[in-house]
């Protein structure tokens, strides 16, 4: 699999599992129509139709593209990490039971882990 070249900041989050500062990412307050792909490998992860404003400081989605996101118990044993199912890139964490949407799921994703592709 061919990977996109990452900046040191992107590597820190995507490979090192760091978290970007809240309210700092380019897609936090961004609601254009299109899709979000993995910045590392380009795999489609989320549709803009599943994005919502959770006011948490990071882009939030209540549904991934089927089979695109893998859930892994986090090292802290409290949260559940989400990664790209194709390349393992760290995306963020998933939370359930918060009642933000009818699907009751919030994928809290680092903007730096994503690339937006506008709808044509």
Catalytic residue status for 108: yes
Identify the three-state secondary structure at position 32.
coil
DSSP string, 18-29: --PPTT-STTTT
Round to whole Å and give the CA distance between 30 and 25: 10
Reported as a single tens digit per residue, the pLDDT across 13-44 is 999 999 999 999 999 999 999 999 999 999 99
pLDDT value of residue 19:
96
* 2 domain-assigned: no
CATH of the domain at 16: 2.170.150.20
Q: Give one word for 41, left, alpha or beta, with left for phi > 0 and alpha for psi -120 to 50.
A: alpha
The answer as to whether 1 is a domain residue is no
Number of domains the chain is built from: 1
Distance CA 23, CA 92 (A): 14
45 inside domain:
yes
- The answer to whether residue 62 scores a pLDDT higher than 90 is yes
- Evaluate whether residue 3 is within a structural domain: no
Which is catalytic among the residues 38, 41, 87, 108? 108
Q: Which of the four pLDDT bands, split at 50, 70 and 90, describes residue 75?
A: confident
Q: Please report whether residue 100 resides in a domain.
A: yes
| Residues of the domain holding 36 | 8-118
pLDDT tens digits along 79-117: 999 999 999 999 999 999 999 999 999 999 999 999 999
The pTM (predicted TM-score) of the whole model is: 0.95
């Amino acid at each position: 699999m061919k990977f996109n070249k990452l900046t040191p900041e992107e590597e820190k989050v995507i490979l090192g599992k760091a978290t970007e500062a809240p309210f700092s990412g380019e897609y936090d307050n961004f609601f254009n129509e299109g899709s979000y792909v993995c910045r590392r490998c380009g795999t489609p992860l989320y549709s803009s139709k599943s994005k919502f404003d959770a006011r948490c400081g990071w882009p939030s989605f209540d549904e991934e593209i089927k089979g695109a996101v893998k859930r892994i118990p986090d090292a802290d044993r409290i949260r559940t990490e989400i990664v790209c199912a194709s390349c393992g890139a760290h995306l963020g964490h998933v939370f359930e039971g918060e009642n933000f949407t009818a699907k009751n799921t919030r994928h809290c994703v680092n903007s730096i882990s994503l690339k937006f592709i506008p709808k044509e």
